[in-house]
Amino acid sequence: MSRSCPTVCPRDCYDTCFALAELDESGEIARMRPDPTNPVTGQALCPRGARDGDRRVTNRVLYPHLGAAGDGSPRFERTDWDTAIERTANRLVETVTRHGPSSVLCLDYAGNTGLLSGAMPLRLWNVLGATRGDNTLCTASGAAGLALHYGAAYGLDPEDLPTRNLIVFWGFNPASSAPHLWTLARRAREAGAMIVVVDSRRSESARTADRWLAPRPGSDVALAYGVARVLFETGGVDLDFLSRHTVGQHELRREIELWTPDRVSEATGLAWTEVEALALAYRERRASATMIGIGFQKSDGGADAVRAVSLIPALVGLHRGFFYSNSSRGFVDGALVEGRSLVSRPAPLVSQVALARRVAAGEFRFIWVINMNPASSLPEAALFRQGLARSDVFVAVCDTHWSETARLADVVLPAASYLEKDDLVIPWTHRWVRWAPRVVTPLGESRDEVWIMQRLARAAAAATPESPWLFDEPWAVLEKALEGAFDGGSVADLRAGTPLKLRVRPPDHYPTPSGLIELAASRLDRPGATPLPRCQPAKMAPGELVMLSSALPRYTHTQFQEVYGPLPATVTIHPDDARSRSIAEGSQVALANRHGRVVLAARISTDVPPGVIWAPKLTSGQGGVPLNALVPGEPQELGGGSRYNSTRVALSPLE
């Protein structure tokens, strides 16, 4: 008889879906189904979640492997856990002894965000004092920007979307990146809401929105100021709300007055009537949701763009009428799970954005990679790959699959997939949490990350300060970390299978110096912090194009290529840019800048405006060269975030 087992997708994604794995008589996964008990994700599975049973059995790392560097093409031989752990631990102890703990680098990211698979295994690296990545690839700069005005970045609960009359997705492509939020928005539309998409290209979401505005990349601050200007001029600003809940309206207003219709149109490329129409929609529809994407803040002025957009809902009188990432709203003690609050000294942090050149320079002698595929996802990815190939650097990768990074490792340790281990995933969008117990037996000799971490900690005891908490039982850790985390219900209920709802801070709580929304920020002690957002238009050299990259519905970063085939090696080019360079549809073109050169197939389309090209994020070009070989490694000033979407390239047909 078949049976359904509850699980939760742990990928770093807006939706954090509850799912049901349907097992056949032999106990194998027959198919994945949506779980209707989650009001946000219960409708359907995305094309990735639906194929998780297939991904589980394809391209897996089944056994520990030792890499044998040879003539540049890596070879791997299977080994046993004892040998793999001993090899890794010996090298770890030797590195710490000879070069100090900070010459050990731990890189982790978005593969599995579960508290047990993602957070708890970091305990070893935190107690060692290893250098850790600073998590700046994704949301960091926008979060730092929002903190200047709101004290913390959390915003509205997506379950409120069906109650809104206007939903603006700004630099956000939910039809691909957040399909369940998109469904909620469309449900609101059925009840009369308007959906607006603000995106520099015609994204999947833009195609079906009620209205699409396409500001030039990097010009969103000007658009937001233009909208604010119309709101002030037409009585759309809730002055009573401003006087009660905000400071800084006069500074903001002075800035807005400088943004004349001509100046806004010139910066954004939009007709003033489009700006007016958006402002009037905000004024007339009142109950709005401003959904601020992560995509458009991975750019030169990304933090300031998020700041400017976030001020619009305050002007129309809404407490946190925006959504960005809700990870700062709750009470889960992540520092305890990771062991950060258990060590006497915090681990040194290194910028992920600027990491590649330091790895290439040999600054780290031992690199541990878990839940991440940095050889494809980091800026300056080709340089990073050169660093991994150095003979004086030891690389250990713990992954479920043979990722590009695993293929460059000295030791590869097989991780059990999320369907093969217990975990608890804390969403950063909606509030629903439930225990995700193991559904099926781990394939091959793959193991869960806590087991792997504890094995390695024992074997490397000579380098590790005495810390019995490394060996804590996972459930005991969770019980402690979750005290006070839920709105009713106990951790025992959770373990018995009952979904619980996260307890969250109220929307009108503003941990700023004034305790109010600071339309003009007053805490300016961070690099790049200014009272008001600044517009930093892209500075382009003649002939240069700006390259955007973002998600496709069937892939999560580099994942699911084993199910759907390689990420498309294509670049979308406007017909004018193709014509002036004699580029034909389907032909091979070179994208080049001072960082590297990537060859992709041309797709000619008006989905992108002139001067802008688009490629699937994390794809690879001819010869397996990662797209991110082109991406600069300079962090944003505010928040240290990435600039993927400000990558400038020259484009030419292949000779």
Binding region for ligand MGD (CB under 6 A)? 12-14, 109-112, 117, 137-138, 171-173, 176-178, 198-201, 203, 215, 217-218, 220, 293-296, 298-299, 370-374, 377, 398-401, 403, 415, 417-418, 449, 548-551, 553, 555-559, 617-618, 627-628, 631, 644-645
Sign of CA dihedral 469, 473, 476, 480: positive
Residue 272: how many other CB atoms lie within 10 Å: 16
Which entry of Mo ion, ligand MGD, none binds 639, CB below 5 to 8 A by partner kind?
none
Minimum distance from residue 12 beta carbon to Mo ion (Å): 6
* Closer Cβ to ligand MGD, 360 or 520, answer by number: 360
* Closer Cβ to ligand MGD, 368 or 432, answer by number: 368
Minimum distance from residue 294 beta carbon to Mo ion (Å): 6
* Closer Cβ to ligand MGD, 360 or 535, answer by number: 535
* Closer Cβ to ligand MGD, 180 or 245, answer by number: 180
Q: How far apart, in whole angstroms, are the C-alpha atoms of residue 627 and residue 624?
A: 9
Minimum distance from residue 48 beta carbon to Mo ion (Å): 14
Question: What would you measure as the largest C-alpha separation in the chain, in angstroms?
Answer: 72
SS3 content of the chain, % helix, strand, coil (to 5): 35, 20, 45
* Closer Cβ to ligand MGD, 18 or 644, answer by number: 644
Which entry of ligand MGD, Mo ion, none binds 150, CB below 5 to 8 A by partner kind?
none
Which entry of Mo ion, ligand MGD, none binds 632, CB below 5 to 8 A by partner kind?
none
* Closer Cβ to ligand MGD, 41 or 246, answer by number: 41
- Cα distances (Å, whole numbers) of residue 327 to 14, 333, 490: 11, 12, 21
Q: Which residues contact 26 (CB under 8 A, 6 or more apart)?
A: none
- Cα distances (Å, whole numbers) of residue 32 to 24, 127, 359, 421, 504: 12, 38, 40, 16, 31
Which entry of Mo ion, ligand MGD, none binds 343, CB below 5 to 8 A by partner kind?
none
Count of residues near Mo ion by CB under 5 A: 1
Q: How far apart, in whole angstroms, are the C-alpha atoms of residue 172 and residue 406?
A: 31
Minimum distance from residue 482 beta carbon to ligand MGD (Å): 20
Closest-by-Cβ residue to ligand MGD is 295
How close are the terminal C-alpha atoms of the chain, in Å? 61
CB-CB contact of 581 with 591 (8 Å): no
* Closer Cβ to ligand MGD, 47 or 261, answer by number: 47
- Site map for Mo ion, 134-153, x if CB under 5 A? ----x---------------
Q: Could you tell me which residues are beta bridge partners of residue 369?
A: 107, 397
Which entry of ligand MGD, Mo ion, none binds 373, CB below 5 to 8 A by partner kind?
ligand MGD
DSSP 3-state of 42: coil
Minimum distance from residue 557 beta carbon to Mo ion (Å): 8
* Closer Cβ to ligand MGD, 131 or 249, answer by number: 131
Give per-residue burial for 2-19: e unless 16+ CB within 10 Å, then b.
eeebbbbbbbbbbbbbbb
Binding site for Mo ion (CB under 5 A): 138
